[in-house]
A and B are shown apart, each in its own frame.
Chain A
Amino acid sequence: MNEIVLVFGAEVVRKVRSRPFLLATAMGALAIGLFVEAPAFMTHTFSSQADAIVLAGPPALRAHAATLLRGDFDVTAGVDALPQPVTTQFLDDHGRAAAAVALSVGGGRLHLDVYPRDLAAFNDVTFRSLSPLDFQIATGLPFDRVKHLARIQRTLHPLDAKFADSKTAALAHGIALGLLFILYLSIIIASQSVMASVAEEKTSRIAELLVATISPVSLLTGKTLAAAMLALLQIVVWLSTALLLFPHAAASAALPGSPDALPADLPISAEVLSAFVVFFVIGFLEYATIYAAAASLISRTEDLGSVSTPVVLPAVAAFLVAQFAAIAPNAPFSIAMSFVPFVSPFVMFARVAVSSVPSWEVGTAMLVNAVAAVACFYVAGKIYRVGMLLYGKLPSVRQIAAALRS
């Protein structure tokens, strides 16, 4: 036990001092900060231009249209008629508007003449909110009545208490994808850190000195635990950055009076956080031990690429499957993948984050993965013990099997 603690301590000191660890922690926090602040930045930088329009037409028509367009557009100016031709200078002079829209009535229908800066930004559904006005003109009914008739009355009834409303559910879905990415990134980075550490000891030939002193299993355990702890430390830094910046970002991102206003605090439940930690630990143990075993087989740093590719691919595939599971958490494929080791930590976490997963499914997935992690550790430990003293060209699968049997 004492030797595991010693290896753990030495490994932590070496890693914390290393440039890649410090860089990854700082870059990760920066990236998350940018990701959180991006909506606010976009709102302030671009939305005033992208959502701004100039309305032209009879005053009554303009007033009704402005009422219906509120929420979608910011009407920067209203004029009776547009100059011909409409120029970008005209748009610049009217609040750097994205388009000028002339309203008219012809043949008993509403007609729009749109002069956009960017044709691609305006399509058939852009002015869908003006449909009640078209209907009012066609039927002659009072505008106030038509305005209300066009809006469907609906009430959402959540089947469980997971999310209070659709806005929270949508936000949770976004957060789940973000956390899933962090989970994937953390497991990969931490596992590769173990891989690099093993490769360093192997290629620098210090491995022989170490395994003559302490058991390879203690060495692997101390190294793996150190990488896990440092990865969790990185996650704490990254999530803290997100939690600290979110209130500011939420306040800045929403337009005044917008129904899309975000809650003041990042809504991450204790359940999701717990699932994150548990599936990180399990997933990390599965991947890190296999990565360590792979690294123990190389003799030169140049060979690291050839052994890392086969072990990285399953993680990438699992991440892609988990993204599908976040969209369709109760699809049979997602449920089945929740119990497959190596894939399960990502898929089950994604499902837990966006839906209510029966506790027996979560428990079974944890059990299956825990057993898989122990099995990985056992097999990887044997490969590691043999591999650390194998030098020369990369051994074949048959040679590894023979070495394991000997």
Chain B
Amino acid sequence: MLVLDRVTRSFGGVRAVRGVSFTVSTGGVYGLLGPNGAGKTTTMRMILGIYPPDSGTISWNGHPVDAALRRRFGYLPEERGLYGRMRVREQIVYFGRLHGLTHADANRRCDEWMDRLDIAQYARRACSELSKGNQQKVQMACASLHDPELLILDEPFSGLDPLNAEALLRAMQALRERGTTLVLSSHQMWQIERICTEFCVVAGGEVRARGTLPELRRAFPTRTVRVSPDTPEIRAVFRRAGAAEQSADDEALAYAVSADADFSALLREVVAAGPVTTFDRAEPSLSEIYVRAVGDQPNDGLVE
């Protein structure tokens, strides 16, 4: 279990992370969400020991993260980097060995990962000769070869086409099935929603919201109701209920209705107001939760 307890970090006069706390259960997939400059990368770097926190503690299974523990972690940084002249196989094996694998073991696992990520045909090619997507796959293999207990992925999907993003998702699923705990950040909400079991929204260096998706939804103050047709009578019903109109198009009206509202009573009133072809109560999406949590002050910090 990864536990961050009131972790802070400043750079000069900039407070990049301000008392961030969250817990990631073993085997879970944790999504860190936040705008650029929110402090996600700094938080990840502190977990990996690249930066020591100014205050607060970070522990893995009850132990502070030290150099020995760090070798059992994996990291895919936001800014990708490979040795351009090094061959693909050599690069993957090198990083595996840096994480403590023997030469034979690293080679064997390298074959498995190259097959899994469909890059075996590039094994003897220099990394600089590969496309960006394939380079990203090589980096994923580098980060995962040693079957890390904790894998941290900073914006893993950025710059990937849908096929490569899907391949990366499959690799992450495979790691999860093998017991690896994943912490990842992404701006691609639909992808992060598919894989993550818990979320933490960070903005201005602070945690704005955290929990499982059902928990986050429960805490969300409104629900979206789509209704049609667009008639003055139906509009009047929603006005009386205190709902705010979100949008209107040819097909339907959308209202933000308080989560505590009696939706059955609302439906009865709408039906009583005239013929109704659509009445759809939607749970808030992760994107909506994110936008609301981040609010209008998304970026107080300057350091990502």
Are B75 and A213 in contact, with the CB atoms below 8 A?
yes
Are A6 and B75 in contact, with the CB atoms below 8 A?
no
Given A212-B50, A212-B70: A6 and B94 interface contact (C-beta under 8 Å): yes
Q: Name which residue of chain B comes closest to A201, CB basis.
A: B81
The answer, among A205, A213, A406, for a CB contact under 8 Å with B98, is A213
How far does the Cβ of B271 sit from chain A's closest Cβ, in whole Å?
Answer: 59
Chain A contact residue count (CB 8 A cutoff): 27
Q: Chain B residues near A111: list those with CB within 8 A.
A: none
Write out, one digit per residue, whether chain B residues 63-80 have a CB within 8 A of any chain A CB (1) or not (0): 000010011010101011
Are A209 and B81 in contact, with the CB atoms below 8 A?
yes
Q: Chain B residues near A208: list those with CB within 8 A.
A: 45, 50, 75, 77, 79, 81
6 A-B pairs closest in CB distance: A206-B81, A205-B81, A205-B79, A212-B75, A204-B81, A212-B48
> How many Å lie between the Cα of A406 and that of B303 in the bound state?
15
Given A207-B81, A208-B77, A209-B142: A389 and B94 interface contact (C-beta under 8 Å): no
Q: Chain B residues near A212: list those with CB within 8 A.
A: 45, 48-50, 70, 73, 75, 77
Within 8 A of B (CB), among A198-253: 200-201, 204-215
A70 touches B (CB below 8 Å) = no
Q: Chain A residues near B86: list those with CB within 8 A.
A: 10, 14
A402 touches B (CB below 8 Å) = yes
B12 touches A (CB below 8 Å) = yes
How far does the Cβ of A68 sit from chain B's closest Cβ, in whole Å?
Answer: 66
Q: Chain A residues near B51: list those with CB within 8 A.
A: 389
A303 touches B (CB below 8 Å) = no
Are B83 and A3 in contact, with the CB atoms below 8 A?
no
B82 touches A (CB below 8 Å) = yes
B85 touches A (CB below 8 Å) = yes
Q: Chain B residues near A399: list those with CB within 8 A.
A: 12
Chosen A-B contacts, 25 in total, with CB atoms closer than 8 Å, are A6-B97, A14-B85, A17-B85, A18-B85, A200-B83, A201-B83, A204-B81, A204-B82, A205-B79, A205-B80, A205-B81, A206-B82, A208-B45, A208-B77, A209-B75, A210-B98, A212-B45, A212-B48, A212-B73, A212-B77, A213-B98, A213-B99, A214-B98, A402-B12, A406-B11
B19 touches A (CB below 8 Å) = no
The answer, among A204, A214, A402, A406, for a CB contact under 8 Å with B83, is A204
Within 8 A of B (CB), among A310-366: none
B95 touches A (CB below 8 Å) = yes
Are A14 and B83 in contact, with the CB atoms below 8 A?
yes
> How many Å lie between the Cα of A201 and that of B80 in the bound state?
11
Q: Chain A residues near B95: list those with CB within 8 A.
A: 209, 213
Chain B contact residue count (CB 8 A cutoff): 30
Q: Chain B residues near A10: list those with CB within 8 A.
A: 86, 90, 94
> How many Å lie between the Cα of A204 and that of B128 in the bound state?
11
Residues of A within 8 A of B (CB): 3, 6-7, 10, 13-14, 17-18, 200-201, 204-215, 389, 391, 399, 402, 406
How far does the Cβ of A215 sit from chain B's closest Cβ, in whole Å?
Answer: 6
Write out, one digit per residue, whether chain B residues 1-40 have a CB within 8 A of any chain A CB (1) or not (0): 0000000000110000000000000000000000000000
> How many Å lie between the Cα of A18 and that of B86 in the bound state?
10
The answer, among B67, B70, B77, for a CB contact under 8 Å with A209, is B77
Q: Chain A residues near B11: list those with CB within 8 A.
A: 406
Q: Name which residue of chain B comes closest to A202, CB basis.
A: B81
B84 touches A (CB below 8 Å) = yes
Write out, one digit per residue, whether chain B residues 125-155 have a CB within 8 A of any chain A CB (1) or not (0): 0000000000000010011000000000000
> How many Å lie between the Cα of A213 and that of B12 in the bound state?
26
**In the complex, given contacts A205-B80, A208-B45, A213-B70, what are 16 additional A-B residue pairs having Cβ atoms less than 8 angstroms apart?**
A6-B94, A14-B83, A14-B85, A17-B85, A201-B83, A204-B84, A208-B75, A208-B77, A209-B142, A212-B73, A212-B75, A213-B71, A213-B95, A214-B67, A391-B79, A399-B12
Q: Chain B residues near A213: list those with CB within 8 A.
A: 70-71, 75, 95, 98-99
Q: Name which residue of chain A comes closest to B98, CB basis.
A: A213
How far does the Cβ of B58 sit from chain A's closest Cβ, in whole Å?
Answer: 14
Q: Name which residue of chain A comes closest to B75, CB basis.
A: A212
How far does the Cβ of A347 sit from chain B's closest Cβ, in whole Å?
Answer: 38
Q: Name which residue of chain A comes closest to B67, CB basis.
A: A215
Residue of A10, A18, A205, A213 with most chain B CB atoms under a 10 A cut-off: A213
How far does the Cβ of B109 sit from chain A's closest Cβ, in whole Å?
Answer: 16
The answer, among B48, B50, B73, B83, for a CB contact under 8 Å with A206, is B83
